[in-house]
A and B are shown apart, each in its own frame.
Chain A
Amino acid sequence: MRTTRALILLLIVLAPSAVRSEMLAIVGGTVHPVSGDAFVGTVVVDAGRITEVGPEVSVPAGARSIDAAGMHVYPGLMDAASQVGMVEVGAVAATDDRQEMGSYNTHLEATTAIHPSSELIPVARANGITHVLAVPQPSRDGVIGGRGALLNLDGWTVEEMTVRNSVVMAMSWPEIQTRQFDFSTFSWKESAFEDAKEEATEKQNELRDWFEAARHYKQAMGTKVVRAQSDLRLEYLARCIDGDMLAMVSANNKRDIEAVMDFAQEQNLKLVLVGGREAWKVAARLAEESVPVILGPTQTLPRDEDAPYFHPYALPSLLVEAGVKIAFGSGAQRSSPHSARLLPYEVATAVANGLSEEAAIKALTLWPAEILGVADEVGSIEPGKVANLLVTTGSPLVMVTEIRHLIIGGREVSTDNMHLSLYQKYRGRP
């Protein structure tokens, strides 16, 4: 009897929000709009969007009031390169839809890999991640993984979750790789530079061929007499040309980052760099050419033994100081969707190593929205934007901060999740 009740409770708890939409007024909290200075006031939400924001805003009739006195209101946090919802258990291939075979998968859509009832979704949002850029990963030796989408982390179906599809084309730059992990000896092997360079150049030229073909395809399809066969792969790739769709390209070493930037200029792509472990070495150029960077978790090891021990922790501040716009993604280095909830702490580590708190919050909210061209939808507390909001006891960068109310797409969503349920269940073990 008890078990049944617990199960029913569990189902209710873990289901997406029970209401489709309601009018909400968050009253009396310190509002951090991010786009401007903080103030004590009210945020009104209707039909999924923020309608009014300000110190003097009155609660509209019919709105449900949320008392935020003594609390803080932040925009929801964004995981700007994410595989949340695309995999359940890392080691079980059957639950893993992150990576398709093939090298140039322009025709794949992240949304088709999303499992809306994945347990990873409630776990991530419980710590304030309200939306993600879901991106497919290129295959092991592949170059293009597919198209990424902006998703809210709440919805009964993937359609309800989707804010915008085909936001980016996710690519992996063919890097010159002279260090490779050899599983037979379980150690890194260095290969000859010339060979690695030749291999990378060959692949880079192949990518160039794809863009040339896509450019020609676009031109041919634009004419009246079309003899060319329609080709989905080229059609999607063509959208990247002239900046219609963002080219989100991962590269880590200095020379590869520079090569990607050259390539983007050559092909007239609108570039978003992902990874960027050595981006500090090219920070000036990144800033000058307004190329933003989506960084992975900061809590990683320096690659070189002589590098300062805190180097990866300090990378964000080095870039921001140089004028580079940054964001963070749980999948920007290696895919770690289970740890998406830790993103604010990864950024807080950067704060302990030189990044300003203001920049840290922006890098989790407004900057990723701007970088990905979706600042009209998300990223700050401004009228017209999707109502993804956190009502908290403090800064999301501080570990003991609690999220008291979680609003996604204008709906109040529970912070309950599988972990909390298991905790409560076993805590209740007699």
Chain B
Amino acid sequence: MNAVHPRVAFRLILFLFAVCPAVASTARAEAPTPPPYYAITNVRVVSGTGAVMEGATVLLAEGIIEGVGVGLSVPSDAWVIDGAGLSVYPGLIDGLTSLGLKADDEGSGRGRGGGDDEAPPIRGPEDRPQTTPWLRAADELVVDDKFGKWRKAGFTSAVSSPSQGIFAGQAALINLVDGEPDAMIVSAAAAHRLNFRGGSRRSFPGSLMGVLAYIKQVLEDTNHYVAVNADYARDPNGRVRPEFDRTLEPLARALDQGTPFMMPAQLGRHVDRAITLGQQYELRGIVVGAHGAYDRADALKTAGFGAVVSLNWPEPAKNRDPELDTPLRTLIHRRLAVSTPAALAAAGVPFAFYSDGLSGPNEVFKAIRKAVEAGLTDAQALTALTSGAAELFGVGEQLGTVEKGKIANLVLASDWPWAEDVEVAAVFVDGRRYAERKDDEPTEAPAADVSGSWKLTMQSPRGEREMTAELEMSEDGKVKGNIESQQGTTALEDGRMSGDLLRFKTTREFGGRSRTASWSLTLDGESIAGTMNAGPMSMDVSGSRSAAPSDDESDETTDQEAPVVSLDELRAAGPQIQGKVRAMGTFAVTNASVWTLAGPVIENGTVVVRNGKIQAVGRDVSIPDGAEVIDAQGGALIPGIIDCHSHMAIEGGVNEGSLNVTAMVGIGDVVNPDDIGIYRALAGGVTSANLLHGSANPIGGRNQIIKLRWGMGAEDMKFSGAPLGIKFALGENPKRSNWRSSDIPDRYPQTRMGVMDVIRQAFTEAREYQREWASYKKGAKRGGVKLAPPRRDLKLEALVEILDGERLVHSHCYRADEILQLMRLADEFGFTVGTLQHVLEGYKVADEIAAHGAGASTFSDWWGYKVEAYEAIPYNAALMSERGVVVSINSDSAEEVRHLNQEAGKCVKWGGMDEVEALKLVTLNPARQLGIDNRVGSLEVGKDADMVIYDGHPLEIASVVQKTFVDGDLYFDRETDTARQAFLEELKTKMNGPEEKKEDGGAANTETPSKPSPEVRWADEIYTCREAH
């Protein structure tokens, strides 16, 4: 029994090593009990309310601020601290951390599907994947040796939160005190934390849209849970009691009490998405990250949202391929991100900061100074770090300012706590004083300057380790800098030169713990020698100076040179890179072959546009006074092209392929308005697109039709009033014929039989659900009281909409037989298939398709990439049209979408289609198929002015798009594109100059963020159903 397994022993050693500082704090508890009464006199008070008092007194009693004011009498039992030359600030709050939580207590693996490969697969939302809203940080707190480091810098409180899972759990607001965990807690339910990351592709939810649909379902369930329980509480007798649900219980309480929900939102579009979700379910929202909130401040204000802004500002990745381009939008984002706090403050959005993985207060303060440089005032920064954070998390009454009655969390310092050369004299948490230790102070003036580059060699147990140090000493002997070794770069802490003795500390994260090492080195001219002590270990260090003290100014001048382009200039650049070319008033396009598609081509025709609508079309049309005239110079004017099958502008995965029916997910939740593919498609004359879920499952997700309003947000791109739709998929993709992987378990179905069965089962279930709601709507009552409505099931709801003829099915299909089967199944359930997508063998059953009334949306000429595409022919569109099917040609590709006019032209070549009919394949016909032909698809009076000007025949390859209008505004112009390009290049060169300087090894490279800076993704990778998926 006494034998200890070697591995256990090793762990034990590690453990002991790791908890050393904790042992020390226990030891400190044997020191005399600190007094409960303090008086800080002669001090400047920066209360955090806006008031500043000089020569004031702050009285603390038993953890509470007893009084603040000038001329207060000092109680005789108070320990008096002379605050002359110092200021009192409210203690700082880190808005999101895992302080006080053990790494393995953060909730990973709790809740099903949380990376546990052994667990049975998730069957749907009912299995509550990665969901632990009951998990409270407050219940998991432990003594944390990291507190000291943060406290010393002036942080007195932090929000500590479970971090893993979609519903991660509840954050606590804690005071950074040593001692019993329960004593730390100020609020045990400061916020719920949501994450928008799915588990993996193998397990639901495996996409962003899956996560969002899941969150909605859980919130729906919560509302239902509340209603059902209320129902039951009113009249329990003789009724089955509602089952207790530990997921819904805490959420119901949060919704009731208005507990905020933290939602990740890094870029502007993410902020929009969080707001949309929050508003739909009336959540009190706090966006986390918020680097892109610089142009969303007003939206946050209007929505009543708060923000917790990450101080881990975006930076270029280290050791990145120098030939890989960085998009201008990313360069601009990096610069503007730091202006987010100023923008939020100006708009009056309550916000806090969080350290987001930065290794310590030094980095945090550096990041705050950057925000101040970008326009945030120090007073605003203080608010964000104190009362703003406190109010955001519902403890504003208790802390966040230096006012009578508040919790005594204070910093006594020579300057703003984040100022570069601040001296922190004392920190009070819950009225307890944590002072800087005096023995760290220099005893002597520095005997020599230690500044410069140093090469150091350390005698470690595993041999010699080489490292370099960059040191910079100020006149009073303070030393700053960093040490770089194979393990990375670490900043010096508390560096001081006293006589010829250099002492400093370094901290390194190790296995979720931070380890502090103390260095003591003696300087002798150009060499240095001494020891490094870390816990029980002591190692010899020696080295020599390799470069003289660098010119102090050089780094700073580089930094000052860097912003050649002002923030205002960058803000103004945004809409030029991403936005319409210009808004148009009333205008006329003249001298054009007008392909109205409502009749024959009008040669030398004119189209008049007013208020975004077509006002007149014809040869002899009078142009209203004052209307701008655009001469098409004999080119063609056609209706805007509509892509009936697109995967552009979708974020976080095109497939929720984990389950075989995912009708609850929707592309509408994940529209990405930042996808450069939108602009490129506009340059190809496309004005609307049907964004579809992928083809991984028999019943996929809901579609979203958009107009390509480049520059607008996701919600504003949506084609309002368009009929709802959903993606289905038949054949090889949903049965995963070409896509088996050992990583991913087999999923039913594996045959066409199974595919049809899945669909039939789903509709059978949907009919039951339909009946349940029908009977409720008829008015199910009990004792004269209306019962709670049935549970909303977002999956079945979409299927019922299909049965009710309110949602169009857009089904991926290839073979003639599966096409027929789906139409027969639709007949059986009483609906008509909206479109058959791809439908490459549609020509074999064209009569049947026409009889059923489905549209067909196909490729022009792709074939042979898989077995079901082997008998695809380029005559498909022509043949189906001939047989009376409404046919469109789609892209399913970010490239193909750029020349859909050519794809239509191929149907003139292969199948001899009439030219007007051919052009309808990419304009009027897709509009009809999508049910939006009352608005778009042809050039007729009253329709939206979505139009394209070509310089020649619109079906010919030689013709190039000159202008594209959406809603009567100019969104693409070949002429101004040249200017746009020049503008882009010029601005980029201007911005890249200093950027390159940095990457060549300037100051920026040595400031290693301990965590990679957040990735900026403007668009996802290109997806097409033609591939295996």
CB distance B958 to A351 under 8 Å? yes
Task: Write the chain A residue with the least CB distance to B674.
Answer: A305
Known A349-B957, A397-B957; judge A89-B908 contact (CB<8 A): no
B-contacting residues, A13-72, CB 8 Å: none
Choose from A193, A305, A349 the contact partner of B899 (Cβ within 8 Å): A349
Contact B865 A301 (CB under 8 A): no
B658 on the interface (CB 8 Å rule)? no
Q: Is A263 among interface residues, defined by CB-CB distance under 8 A? A: no
Knowing A196-B321, A300-B895, say if A184 contacts B743 (CB, 8 Å).
Answer: yes
Q: For the complex, what is the distance from the CA of A427 to the CA of B743, rounded to whole Å?
A: 45
Chain A, range 172-229, C-beta contacts under 8 Å to B:
176, 178-179, 181, 183-184, 186-188, 190, 192-194, 196
Contact pick for A190, options B321, B676, B843, CB 8 Å? B321
Q: Does A109 contact B (CB under 8 A)?
A: no
CB pair A186–B201 under 8 Å, yes or no, is yes
Q: In the bound complex, do residue B320 and residue A190 qualify as a contact, i.e. CB atoms below 8 Å apart?
A: yes
Return the chain A residue nearest B984 by Cβ. A306
Query: Cα distance A188–B1020 when bound, in Å?
Result: 9
Name the distance in Å between A412's Cβ and chain B's nearest Cβ: 22
Check A338–B865 contact: CB distance below 8 A: yes
Digit string of B940-957 for contact with A (CB within 8 Å is 1, else 0)? 000000000000000111
- Expressed in whole angstroms, the minimum distance between the Cβ of B898 and any Cβ of chain A is 8
Asked if residues B957 and A348 are in contact (CB atoms below 8 Å), the reply is yes
Contacts A309-B680, A310-B683, A352-B959 given; indicate if A253 touches B323 (C-beta within 8 A): yes
B865 contacts A187, CB within 8 Å? no
Q: Write the nearest CB–CB distance from A158 to chain B, whole angstroms.
A: 20
B446 at the interface (CB under 8 A from A): no
Asked whether A187 lies within 8 Å of B1020 as measured between CB atoms, the reply is: yes
B190 to chain A, nearest CB (A): 32
The one of B879, B896, B958, B988 in contact with A352, judged by C-beta atoms closer than 8 angstroms, is B958
Q: Restricting to B181-228, which residues have a CB under 8 Å from any CB of A? A: 200-201
Expressed in whole angstroms, the Cα–Cα distance for A401 and B674 within the complex equals 40
Chain A, range 64-102, C-beta contacts under 8 Å to B: 88-92
CB closest chain-B residue, reference A192: B319
Residue of B nearest to A301 (CB): B895
A392 to B956, CA, bound (A): 18
- Asked if B534 CB lies within 8 Å of chain A CBs, one says no
Does B329 have its Cβ within 8 Å of any Cβ on chain A? yes
Across the interface, which residues of B come within 8 angstroms of A349, CB to CB?
899, 957
Contact A305 B1018 (CB under 8 A): yes
> With the chains together, A254 CA to B320 CA distance in Å?
16
Cα distance A90–B319 when bound, in Å?
A: 37
Instruction: Please count how many residues in chain B sit with their CB below 8 Å of the partner chain's CB atoms.
Output: 72
Residues A253-292 near B (CB distance < 8 A): 253-255
Contacts A309-B680, A349-B899 known; A89 to B867 CB distance under 8 Å? Answer: yes
- Closest residue of chain B to A417 (Cβ to Cβ) is B873
- Shortest distance between the CB of A370 and any CB in chain B (Å): 26
Of B16-24, B425-433, B856-864, which binds chain A?
Answer: B856-864
Closest residue of chain B to A312, judged by CB?
B895
B912 (CB) vs chain A CBs: closest residue: A400
A305 touching B329, Cβ below 8 Å: yes
Among B329, B879, B977, contact of A427 (Cβ-Cβ < 8 Å): B879
Indicate if A342 sits at the interface (CB-CB under 8 A): yes
Does B852 sit within 8 A of A, measured CB to CB?
no
Identify which of residues 332-352 in chain A touch chain B, using a CB-to-CB cut-off of 8 Å: 338-339, 341-342, 345, 348-349, 351-352
Whether B324 contacts A178 by the Cβ 8 Å rule is yes
- Secondary structure type dominating chain B contacts: loop
Residue of A nearest to B737 (CB): A91
CB-based contact B867/A91 at 8 Å: yes
Give CA–CA (A423, B874) in the complex, Å: 9
B296 at the binding interface (Cβ < 8 Å): no
- Complex Cα distance, B692 from A379, in Å, reads 45
- Residues of the B chain whose Cβ atoms lie less than 8 Å from the Cβ of A253: 323
Q: A306-B988, A342-B861, A397-B957 are in contact. Are A91 and B325 (CB under 8 A)?
A: no
Q: How distant is A400 from chain B, measured CB to nearest CB, in Å? A: 5
Chain A residues lying within 8 Å of B603, measured Cβ to Cβ, are: none
A157 proximity list for chain B (CB < 8 A): none
* B1021 close to chain A: CB less than 8 A: yes
- In the bound complex, what is the Cα–Cα distance between A426 and B847 (angstroms)? 11
- The residues of B that contact A398 with a CB separation of less than 8 Å are 956-958
Given contacts A190-B324, A305-B327, A426-B844, contact A399 B902 (CB under 8 A): yes
Q: Is the CB of A309 within 8 A of B874?
A: no
Residues of A in contact with B, size category? 35 or more
Q: Is the CB of B863 within 8 A of A186?
A: no
A308 and B319 contact, CB distance less than 8 A: no
Q: Shortest Cβ distance from A336 into chain B, in angstroms?
A: 9
Say yes or no for A120: interface residue by CB 8 A criterion.
yes
Q: Point out the residues of chain A lying under 8 angstroms from B281, CB to CB.
A: none
Of A192, A300, A353, A399, the contact of B905 (CB 8 Å cutoff): A399
B870 contacts across to A, CB distance below 8 A: 88-89
Query: Once the chains are docked, how many angstroms separate the CA of A327 from the CA of B865?
Result: 25
Contact A90 B879 (CB under 8 A): no
Q: Give, as a whole number of angstroms, the nearest-CB distance from B724 to chain A.
A: 27
A231 interface residue (CB < 8 Å to B): no
Residues of chain B within 8 A of A91, CB atoms compared: 732, 737-738, 865-867, 1028
Looking at B679, B874, B1018, the one whose CB has the most chain A CB atoms below 10 A away is: B874
User: A301-B895, A306-B328 in contact; A423/B879 too (CB < 8 A)?
Assistant: yes
CA distance A119 to B879 in the complex (A): 21
Q: Are A193 and B679 in contact (CB under 8 A)?
A: no
Docked CA distance A305–B679 (Å): 10
- B862 contact set on A, CB distance < 8 A: 338-339
Q: Report the bound CA distance from A273 to B458 in whole Å.
A: 51
- Interface presence of A12 (CB below 8 A): no
Which residues of the partner chain B approach A426 to less than 8 Å between Cβ atoms? 843-844, 846, 879
Cβ–Cβ contact A89 & B957, under 8 A: no
What B residues does A400 contact at CB under 8 A? 905, 908-909
Q: Is A358 an interface residue (CB 8 A)?
A: no
Q: Is the CB of A193 within 8 A of B911?
A: no
CB-CB contacts below 8 Å: B853-898 with A: 861-867, 869-871, 873-875, 879, 882, 894-896, 898
- Rounded to whole angstroms, the CA-CA distance of A186 and B867 in the bound complex is 24
- Chain A residues with Cβ below 8 Å from B653 are 186
* Residues of chain A with a CB closer than 8 A to B861's CB: 339, 341-342
Q: Does B233 contact A (CB under 8 A)?
A: no
Alpha-carbon distance between A252 and B307 when the two chains are bound, in angstroms: 44
Q: List 9 A-B contacts (CB under 8 A).
A: A91-B866, A91-B1028, A186-B653, A188-B1021, A305-B325, A338-B864, A399-B906, A418-B871, A420-B875
Taking beta carbons and an 8 Å cutoff, which residues of A are in contact with B? 88-92, 119-120, 176, 178-179, 181, 183-184, 186-188, 190, 192-194, 196, 253-255, 299-301, 303-310, 338-339, 341-342, 345, 348-349, 351-353, 397-400, 418-420, 422-423, 426-427, 429
Query: Which 5 A-B pairs rank lowest in CB-CB distance, beginning with the nearest?
Result: A178-B321, A91-B866, A423-B875, A304-B325, A348-B957
Other A-B pairs, 19, CB within 8 Å; known A88-B864, A184-B743, A423-B911: A88-B870, A90-B865, A91-B866, A91-B1028, A184-B201, A186-B653, A187-B1021, A190-B317, A190-B320, A192-B318, A193-B321, A299-B896, A299-B898, A309-B680, A352-B959, A400-B905, A419-B873, A420-B873, A426-B879
